[in-house]
Amino acid sequence: MKSRNLWSVIGAVALLGVLLLIFIPGSKQPAPAAEPAQPLKPQQEHKAKHFTMQSDIHATHQLNRLDAKAHLHKMLSNESLRNAGQIRLYTQNEQKTHKHFQQVRWYNLKQNKMVDIQGQLPKLSKDDKKLISHHFQIAQQKLKQGEAYDSPKFVAAGQPYFVVAEPSKDRKFGAAALVNQAVLHEVSNHQKRNLRLIPYPKEGKFKVESVHADTLSDITVKTGHDNEKASHFYENEIVVSFQQDPTKEQLLDISKEISCETPRKLGYAYVFRSKEMDYQQLRSYFEKNWETKYTEPHYMYLTNDRIPQTMSNTGSLPEQANAQVNIPNDLLFSQYQWNLPVIETNRGWDLSRGSEDVIIAVVDTGADLTHTDLAGQLVDGYNIVDKEKKPLDDVGHGTHVAGIIGALVNNGEGVAGVSWYNKIMPVKALDSSGSGTTYAVAEGIIWATDHGAKVINMSLGNYADSQFLHDAVKYAYDRDVVLVAASGNDNTERPGYPAAYPEVLAVAATDSNQKRAEYSNYGDYIDVAAPGTNIASTFPGNQYAALSGTSMASPHAAAMAGLIRSLNPNLTNQEVMDVMTSQTVDLGDKGKDKYFGHGQIDIFRALQAASTPEVPLQMWPGRTLLNLEQELRKLTRPQTIDGE
């Protein structure tokens, strides 16, 4: 590969540790004067970050309860699973990829029979076994009464567990599962480092200045520019995903029975609007009469009633954009993914859902290559840490980032990614400790560039300005790659790299109130802000977790770049970044500021701008010059550093 010669051109390299947005600390910085509230004292900042971490842990706990129930429903709705042998084989196959389902019991409630399938249980004491048995007994009693069961969280063999049980629709069968929640410890340990609640790396010493911590509200679904805290939905509508799509005749029968006009289909789901029934009545009707995968309210976004202030210079909705907002049927979307509606992702899907031709590389800890919510979304990647192995994620960070970008949308489970169709290229540059060298990250950037990446996300950084890393960044930039990086979680104004390089789009973090996240780094180099607090996404072992950090904010912007390049492949990397920074929601001080940059990203507005057939006048000089430069490079570029 020709790009390898770049190493000899650059020369010797100092192997500076690069952390996954767990930056090497800098000197103490003055409190930001532009913040509306008084700066927090160090103890207050620590308390605020601790609360953010606890919010992540609580959300992760709830995510996994919902996911466990969904698996039981799927099992119960499979009519081929009615004898012990079939049930045992099915469950054992599930346990191979879902190791946290450590024990499953299937009940034939009419015949009073039970099949017990044990997975990889730890060594349990008598008291542990007694406690688990107690919860299974309660679950069985509830199932016989036709009711579900949710146990409180409890500890067995030093690990957190819960038992959940669900009856079948006809109440003839039931299923219960013992679910290991070791993922809570993983999230806790991860976020203690990520939010700097403990020194990281262990030998490091750091002290950061405090700022006011914005209060974290409950997770809600809201419009991109709506500050209301409540979720809104159409009271006479319902979104339904069926086990099997109804025929035209069946849809007509439904329409008559609920007094509905022709339903609208969104992906795998249907939206029904009744003239006489409210949401609760509609839900009762469908659960009683139809086999459904999922029913949910039809949430609405208050953007069609009036032109928001932030849309004042773009006018009304374009003709090609549907007045109806896309609501995916992914299980965790409505309750936990506040981050997508707040940046107008759903409306943006009417303009672009991505393209397989535009690959987004994730230079990180790798990815869970077998996660069901990433199935078909990944292309071949590269493991720099161990070149003989695949880029498997042994930390969880890279899998979470990948899910934010491109978790399967409208598959009825898990979370929805920002992009439907952009492929993700996992490049493992960070090891099992979540750290790596400047060399590894630089090699990852160049490898991804040489293998077709059009966008590169880097949720990692270091405060050292490495020329070697900068050369790698420029190598990618000169080949028309959009580079996106997280600003860091130290609440400091000291520039972090690669985010602070001029060729890179630097991303700060916001919370669900569209306030600056208390951990987010700031400075004049910040370009945009994106959601970063309590972000639900994929996690290794076919699990889901909520994490906070600018690591989570950056992939929102990277996925947005992928959508733009899919919609208008003629735009150069700089033009893509110009669109992203010019079509934002202005937060904080008017205009560009050091906390939010140009503002919070707005996917719909950016795609509107990118879809214009003509190149905007302000971009024309840059485009012309860049095209000229590229033509000159073809004539003068030394072959020793040509990676093509």
What CA–CA distance (Å, rounded) separates 428 from 389?
Answer: 10
Query: What is the DSSP secondary structure assignment for residue 108, as one 8-state letter?
Result: E
> Among the options 397, 470, 556, 598, which is catalytic?
397
Selecting among 56, 128, 350, 364, the annotated active-site residue is 364
Cα–Cα dist 398/404, whole Å: 10
User: In terms of Cα–Cα distance, which of 337, 312, 341 is closest to 326?
Assistant: 341
Helix or strand holding residue 88 (H, E): helix 84-97
Catalytic residue among 551, 554, 566, 578: 551
3-state SS string for 331-347: CCHHHHCCHHHHCCHHH
Helix, strand, coil: what percent of the chain each, to 5? 35, 20, 45
Place of tokens 């006048």: 617
Active site residue 364: yes
Q: How many Å apart are CA 140 and CA 125, to the nearest integer?
A: 23
Retrieve residue 535's tokens: 């972000």
Helix boundaries (H) for 418-510: 438-450, 467-477
Residue with tokens 């208390």, as numbered in its chain: 518
> Which of 342, 315, 345 has the alpha carbon at shortest distance from 328?
345
Give the burial string for 134-165 (b: 16+ CB within 10 Å, else e): ebbeebbebbeeeeebebeebebeeebbbbbb
Strands 528-531 and 292-299 come out as unpaired
DSSP 150: E
Does residue 397 carry a catalytic annotation?
yes
Calculate ∠ Cα 179-183-186, nearest 5°.
Answer: 160
Report angle CA 344, 345, 348 to the nearest 5 degrees. Answer: 90
The catalytic residue positions are 364, 397, 551
